[in-house]
Amino acid sequence: LAPKYVRAIAPYQPGKPVSELAREMGLREDTIVKLASNENPLGLPASARAAIERALSELARYPDGNGFELKAALCRHFGVNADQVVLGNGSNDVLELIARAFLQPGDEVVFSQYAFAVYPLVAQATGAKGVAVPASAWGHDLAAMLAAINDRTRVVFVANPNNPTGTLLAPDALARFIAAVPESVLVVLDEAYTEYLAPEQRFDSVGALAQYPNLIVSRTFSKAYGLAGLRVGFAFAHPEVADLINRVRQPFNVNSLAQAAAVAVLDDADYLARSVEVNSAGMRVLTAAFDRLGLEYIPSSANFVTFRAPNAAALNARLLAEGVIVRPLAPYGMGDWLRVSIGLPAENARFVEVLGAALAGA
């Protein structure tokens, strides 16, 4: 039988797949609007599609286990060295590899109360203890997180912007926090949504790596780069930290189509710019609708927004019945809240239409 700490793990609950809802509700898949998993509504970048088509002929061979081309592209793009890079099967994989490399039973891992659900999961799978620090205004209380660090703490996770609340930490607050964390504790700065930020909102995390050997910066191709289904994420760290993480990695953890697509989309500045533009326009539409409907929401710096609903479970059921998938936040201890990802204009309009009708009792 599995160890007690494995049996105690609450499984991750992903957004409901379109095909599943179509079956359940007898709906046509193309009428369903999925705004549940913070995916890119623009769909697969054309640059990535072309790269995937070129890479198809290599599929009988194993991928490049060291991701030479992708690491080289990341180095060019972000100004890091290849020995600082870890590639993952999504950044989820990177987070799990960090846990596997650095945690053992008895260790403690600090994160914020409403932070990404995968942090407690990967900590618990190693037998380490997750310490959830009460949030401040739905975001990280960095002072309280510092105070929660003790001799047993090995890793601190910070998501910036945070999922599922969309909150953002000011660059100087983050800089002071990283400087105050003891060097024996790894700070994992999860920047899955960083591309959506305006330049002045960004903490220079890559620049900070030279100063803090205990800093790991985690990023993903799943959001603004539009490759969620291919599963590719990456992290930058001190070469010794990156080396340790790479030792526990599966030899071929990032498949060849994902590597080829990621290389292509890194050079696709146009897709990235459109992602950010569609996101900020959609964010304005959704928050204006919440204001109009008198619904409270948490101002978000990411590609989703979390709002409070009078009866969130019933509203979610109603949205599902109408073919609109959002994310209930009960698993995060936010039972009154739903999270909606920013979609294309027509998807946002459909969500607002169904939401308005549901609230009006229609």
Site for ligand PMP, rule CB under 6 A: 38, 90-92, 116, 159, 163, 190, 192, 220, 222, 228, 233
Shortest separation between residue 209's beta carbon and ligand PMP, angstroms: 19
Measured from the CB atom, the residue of 34 and 358 that comes closer to ligand PMP is 34
Closest approach, Cβ 92 to ligand PMP, in A, equals: 3
Least separation in angstroms between residue 48's CB and ligand PMP is 15
What are the E-state strand segments in 174-308?
Answer: 186-190, 215-220, 233-236, 297-298, 304-308
Distance CA 334, CA 346 (A): 28
Residue number, 339 or 350, with CB nearest to ligand PMP: 339
Please, what is the minimum distance in Å from the beta carbon of residue 311 to ligand PMP? 26
Pick between residue 63 and residue 90 the one whose CB is nearest to ligand PMP.
90
Element housing 158 (H / E): strand 153-159
What does 100-113 look like in DSSP terms, one character per residue? HHH--TT-EEEEET
Phi, psi of 34 (to 5 degrees): -105, 110
User: To the nearest whole angstrom, how small is the minimum distance from the Cβ of residue 358 to ligand PMP?
Assistant: 26
CA–CA gap between residue 305 and residue 238 (Å, rounded): 34
Q: How far is the CB of 321 from ligand PMP (least distance, A)?
A: 25
Contacts of 226 (CB under 8 A, 6+ apart): 40, 42, 43, 44, 45, 48, 265, 271, 275
* Closer by beta carbon to ligand PMP, 261 or else 289: 261
CB closer to ligand PMP out of 163 and 300: 163
Q: How far is the CB of 122 from ligand PMP (least distance, A)?
A: 11
The 3-state secondary structure of 50-92 reads HHHHHHHHHCCCCCCCCCHHHHHHHHHHHCCCHHHEEEECCHH
Q: Confirm if 347 and 41 have CB atoms less than 8 A apart.
A: yes
Query: Among residues 223, 199, 191, 201, which one has the least CA distance to residue 303?
Result: 223
- Which of 273, 307, 301 has the alpha carbon at shortest distance from 288? 307
Residue 229 CB partners (closer than 8 Å, separation 6+): none
Kindly tell me which of 133 and 352 has the beta carbon lying closer to ligand PMP.
Answer: 133
Is 187 or 352 the residue whose CB approaches ligand PMP more closely? 187
CB-based closest residue to ligand PMP: 90
